Amino acid sequence: MLYALKNLFRRPAIRMGRVDNSLFQTTRLRNAQFVSFMSQSDSLAPMSMDRYDTKLRRRKRLKTALVLAMIAGAAWVIIESAHAITMF
């Protein structure tokens, strides 16, 4: 009976958007298996900053080109509209 009441009034696992891990047995290193996996796989290899910078520059140029294309399109619509209005 005591176990049933304890289960009924226990604190939920998810509280205010965070997970309550108090029920899990943890070591000083919280996720030792995960850290071991990450260190043995090459996912922590240093990233080439040249590629990253190149990607950022490419994105910036693409955004600039899109903005210029939108401005040119808006200007074309305005000019054509003005031309159509002057014809009437």
- Domain-by-domain residue ranges, the chain? 2-87
Residue in this structure with the two tokens 């696992």, named with its chain if needed: 13
* Average pLDDT across the chain, whole number: 77
| pLDDT beyond 80 at 1 | no
pLDDT in tens, 46-85: 667 788 888 999 999 999 999 999 999 999 999 999 999 9
**Would you give the DSSP letter of residue 44?**
G
* pLDDT band per the 50, 70, 90 thresholds, residue 27: low
- Is the model's pLDDT at 16 over the cut of 80? no
pLDDT of amino acid 87 = 86
Separation of alpha carbons 19 and 14, rounded Å: 5
Which carries the bigger pLDDT value, residue 56 or residue 22?
56
Hey, what are 88's tokens?
Answer: 């009437």
Rounded Cα distance, 14 and 21, in Å: 9
Give the containing element (helix H, strand E) for 58: helix 49-87
Which pLDDT score is estimated for 37?
Answer: 74
